[in-house]
Structure 1
């Protein structure tokens, strides 16, 4: 579904969006209305207020909801199956013990954060996070303290890699639109992502985690590491087996991301059958399906029947219904804002704001991100808006790479209630909206600001 022609100017649409966010927060935080009900209600009211024709409102609602569910439902479903098998068989505990023995208890948050940086190179934010959930929660339960001490370094690592580093689609698309080099964007983006993660995510998360206590939720995996007898403990899989199962989806998904980038760059002929087959295996849902099957055979059937494993997987799916529906409703709200034309109206008013190119990149991307929620839309729209100015300026590939980072930084900050990722983090970590706003929103903002500060410093030097 395409965006309608804006019924109002940018200023009016921004006021409508701000009022919608305020109403949503009021309903959830003050009235205590269920988040799913509140999101759907506010989405309907916003669509009507923004001038979407009444007959098109149902399609506008389903646009964001169905597109979000299409990517989230299978991912979360398969991911929680893998996580449950890893937890019940002792695999998560084995991996956590190995990491802690290698790095030490005090470095546990750093250890799993660094692991997430490595795994995050080929895999999307949400896919990586859902696979790492049992590890995060096992480590957090073992050492105590706030869950955020361990969860946010990991989530921030996946977020940094997803936003800033090719072959992830956002920076690839921006580099292409601006006429830059994808390879150089990778070489520049990777160290910037690591440094901005350490400053804006890891260090900040340790401060947040000491100030805000969040208990390890039991909704997804129950009372983790509890209830296993001595026979099951002795039958725990080896570290190599667990690592292999975790690596499998990342290797498969890398087929999709890396080969897709090489095809776009012209290195691989478009339509090559072998590449298309490997990219199918690397589709996130297919890769996680394969991993569930392997985990069932390697972990689940150790001393259990297939019927027992099916019961385990069935029980794992029950608690995620609310997560999927609320995340889909968050996508619905963001989709309504996008279809209302707020992005187009903002784009028209921001195209000539008289700032230097790198400041334009960050400011425009930030405003688009805050207004309509989607980081991808903010990133690609901003790149398109400044592409003509970039072409006229005759910038080097290095400077274009810095612009890509600045755009991605703006598209990262201020994740809030119109962002489906906000709801995914909120539900996964068992946080209410207020807690998510003062923790996740803050950390995403410091991560984006750190990346922008680095790109700005390099821009001045260059």
Structure 2
């Protein structure tokens, strides 16, 4: 019975989002109520589950997402992202343009949300493709692969940070293992898959794209942008702080904070938590991308406020995903999943990946799919003793698979690069699926050693 209710709940959510075109957050809350009733939860318990789900999901994450958006916008508006992309491309030359695009997208993708990173990078990709005389899609596929990998695997991005909180994984460990998984994933789905895509849809590589879809663009000259070094340092500062904590704890404390920590242990652990690392990084960005460039405080605050507006609905959607997850857990779906697969020979990592894939195909949103899957696999992970960081990456990989017509990323890619639906399926959808499969393979290999 719990599975029937779950399937009907997912169908209702899909219907509300796609057919009725109801707002995703509203759809999640309505579906959570309907599923709670279907699972037999008392009316008062349904309300409590929804409140607890939203509250627990947005506790620390609201700081991480809010400050992350502010940091990314500061780097973008100061011209730091423009400097990073152009410097790498200048250094690597025409023959290694794809590698330059991958590195630029990876660095910028860590600091910015997927959609923001794509909007920021596409004009640069258009300009480089025209200057170098290469196909726009030749550079767009590696760019999209790198942005997707950071979105799916690396904190402080919404999905991996949120799943880490649900599964009780160290954000530092997820970041460390995530980079190991991300590198082969982006190579295979980016430069290597481009060769396959060119054979599948050769006509698509002749398109000139649709830059008008991005709206008015802010133009920079290199002289007015910050230096390459300070731009990279500012963008990667949250990652650097988390990496310092993780490496320190691995070297001196067996991977975790000791029962009786020293002052240094406490300080290192403190700066590596996602909320604190983002707070410190934002203050650094306000200086390097603002005051140091002689921007007035009101101008900096305007950038910060605009950044918050861009993620307000994302925060609500993540909260709604948390509500849906909590109702499923309180209604016994998680326990039912554990019983169903208790005799299965499949690894919990593969099961987590499969559940995320099914939810991604059904719901479209990678973030909602990963949050829902995390709630369902939590009891499986605990009973099997699986490393939580690896489970985060397995679920994250599954949540990227098979992006199609119910995912905003699909339509963004189609519109910007002037593709048909079929061409988008054979480029965007396939590269996302390749990332998901390669990501799972890398996680399974890591599980042998961790």
- Quote the offset at 1:242 in angstroms: 0.9
1:23-38, aligned counterparts within 5 Å? 23-38=12-27
User: Is 2:261 aligned against 1:279?
Assistant: no
> What residue number does 2:398 align with?
413
**1:457, 1:253 → 2: CA distance?**
24
Q: 2:143 aligns with which of 141, 144, 150?
A: 150
Give the 5 Å matches for 1:27-176: 27-104=16-93, 107-108=96-97, 110-114=99-103, 128=110, 130=112, 136-144=118-126, 145=136, 150-157=143-150, 159-160=152-153
Residues 73 and 324, structure 1, Cα contact 8 Å, conserved in 2: yes
| 2:54–2:319 CA contact under 8 A, matched in 1 | yes
Q: Which residue of 2 aligns with 1:237?
A: 226
Alignment partner, residue 447 of structure 1: 435
Query: TM-score, structure 1 length as denominator?
Result: 0.68
Q: 2:392, 2:75 → 1: CA distance? A: 38
Q: Which residue of 1 aligns with 2:320?
A: 329
CA spacing shift, 1:170–1:310, aligned 2, 3 Å? closer
Contact between 2:185 and 2:439, CA under 8 Å: does it hold in 1?
yes
Moved more, 105-114 or 236-245: 105-114
Aligned residue number for residue 281 of structure 2:
291
Aligned residue pairs, count: 401
Which stretch of the first structure deviates more once superposed, 317-326 or 375-384?
Answer: 375-384
Change (3 A) 1:25 1:216: farther
Query: 1:132 and 1:280, CA in 2 relative to 1: closer, same or farther beyond 3 A?
Result: farther
Contact 1:85–1:299 under 8 Å retained in 2: yes
CA distance 1:92–1:195, shift in 2 (3 Å): closer
Mean CA deviation greater in 208-217 or 270-279: 208-217
Structure 2 residue runs of 5 or longer lacking an equivalent are 127-135, 156-160, 360-368, 416-420
SS of 1:237's equivalent? coil
Whether the 8 Å contact between 2:57 and 2:318 is mirrored in structure 1 is yes
Q: Deviations over 1:312-362 (max 9, x none)?
A: 222332232122212221232233223322111111121113x3xxx3445
Kindly indicate whether the alpha-carbon contact (under 8 Å) linking 2:29 and 2:320 is maintained by their aligned counterparts in 1. yes
Which of 338, 344, 365 is the equivalent residue of 2:352? 365
Distance 2:384 2:88 in 1: 44
d(CA) in 1 for partners of 2:17 and 2:44? 28
Deviation at 1:148, TM superposition (A): 6.3
- Long gaps (5+) in structure 1: 1-11, 121-126, 163-167, 177-181, 388-399
> What is the rounded CA distance, in whole Å, between the counterparts of 1:190 and 1:303 in structure 2?
35
Corresponding residue number in structure 1 for 2:5: 16
Q: Name the CA distance, whole Å, in 2 between partners of 1:407 and 1:277.
A: 26
User: 1: CA distance between counterparts of 2:305 and 2:162?
Assistant: 33
CA contact (8 A) 2:153 2:393 kept: no
Cα 1:143/1:263, change in 2 over 3 Å: same
- Residues 106 and 73 of structure 1: CA distance in aligned 2, closer, same or farther (over 3 Å): farther
Cα-Cα RMSD: 4.9
Q: How far apart, CA to CA, are the structure 1 residues paired with 2:236 and 2:446?
A: 34
1:382 to 374, 380, 383: 380
